[in-house]
């Protein structure tokens, strides 16, 4: 057997969910089956650590089966275990139970927010020096930890209740209730903020790099709520600045 063929066979064997002795293509299992078993134990443990609520919600047997399906669909391609669960939420969106996808997306947002780069807080002195007529062209740069998501189920509320009593069984499933959620880091602590549709839509446009004026005009056209947007923009800016979401304001050169 050529080295490349052996390496391919070894990699394929590692992701087998069943012991090698049960696979007809292998005679015996021996040491290779030990590697296969350790592979599964490490990856299951990694996902349990990254998605504890999802693991608790499914239970050990269903969680292990889900991991097997996930690995089959998205075999690990990197040595870093940190990225192993990056596609889990998207994978679970293909299943009938959308709550699972929402829980996974929320839990992964906590990981991304925790690991995100830091940025200095917004300097109020710099903000005070911005001319009034420059604000429509201003772009708000969000802190790297800010993670935005739209959920069909209030997974953030479910997580909060579960964290109050992680030993509770069974875990109460919430009713479907679409929510706009932001996960972020502030002073090494993690937080969740729920937002109304209008504020979230504005934040989403800002996060995509739209200038304040253009974002507000587009949202007003889309929703027909221009007066409300105009009256609330100052409130939003103050709130988001206080939460540490805005790291700087960029003014277009004239």
Split at pLDDT 50, 70, 90, the class of 6 is very low
**Mean pLDDT for all residues in the chain:** 86
Of the listed ranges 47-51, 107-111, 217-221, the least confidently predicted one is 47-51
Pair of tokens at residue 133: 């007529």
Report pTM.
Answer: 0.83
- Strand segments, DSSP code E, in 27-122 are none
Nearest to 26 by CA among 42, 10, 3, 7: 10
**How high is the pLDDT of residue 34?**
52
193 sits in which H/E element: strand 189-195
Give the integer Cα–Cα distance in Å for 225 and 223.
5
Give the integer Cα–Cα distance in Å for 201 and 216.
10
Give the integer Cα–Cα distance in Å for 58 and 60.
7
- Contact indicator for 198, 235 with CB cutoff of 8 Å: no
**How high is the pLDDT of residue 10?**
42
**How high is the pLDDT of residue 36?**
55
Q: Where are the domains of the chain?
A: 1-86, 117-254
Which residues are 182's β-sheet partners? Answer: 148, 193
**How high is the pLDDT of residue 5?**
47
Which tens digits make up the pLDDT trace of 57-75?
999 999 999 998 998 898 8
**How high is the pLDDT of residue 160?**
94
Q: Which fold has domain 117-254?
A: Outer Surface Protein A; domain 3 (3.90.930)
Residue 81, pLDDT above cutoff 90? no
Within 10 angstroms of residue 93's Cβ, the number of other Cβ atoms is 14
């Amino acid at each position: 057997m050529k080295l490349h063929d052996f390496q391919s066979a070894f990699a394929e064997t590692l992701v087998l969910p069943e012991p090698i002795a049960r696979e007809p293509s292998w005679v015996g299992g021996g040491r290779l089956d030990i590697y296969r078993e350790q592979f599964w134990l490490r990856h299951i443990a990694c996902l349990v650590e990254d998605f504890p609520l999802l693991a608790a919600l499914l239970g050990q047997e269903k969680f292990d089966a889900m991991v097997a399906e996930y690995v089959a669909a998205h075999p690990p391609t990197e040595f870093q275990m940190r990225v192993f669960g990056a596609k889990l939420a998207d994978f679970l969106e293909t299943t009938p139970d959308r709550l699972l996808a929402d829980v996974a997306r929320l839990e992964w947002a906590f990981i991304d927010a925790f690991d995100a780069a830091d940025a200095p807080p917004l300097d109020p002195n710099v903000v005070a020096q911005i001319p009034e007529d420059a604000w429509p062209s201003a772009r708000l740069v969000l802190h790297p930890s800010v993670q935005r998501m739209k959920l069909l189920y209030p997974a953030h509320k479910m997580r909060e209740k579960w964290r109050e009593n992680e030993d509770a069984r069974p875990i109460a499933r919430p009713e479907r209730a679409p929510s706009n959620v932001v996960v972020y880091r502030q002073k090494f602590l993690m937080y969740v903020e729920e937002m109304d549709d209008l504020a979230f839509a504005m934040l989403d446009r800002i996060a995509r790099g739209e200038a304040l004026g253009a974002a507000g005009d587009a949202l007003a056209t889309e929703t027909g709520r221009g007066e409300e947007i105009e009256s609330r923009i100052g409130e939003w800016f103050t709130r988001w600045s206080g939460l540490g979401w805005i790291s700087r304001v960029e003014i277009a050169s004239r």
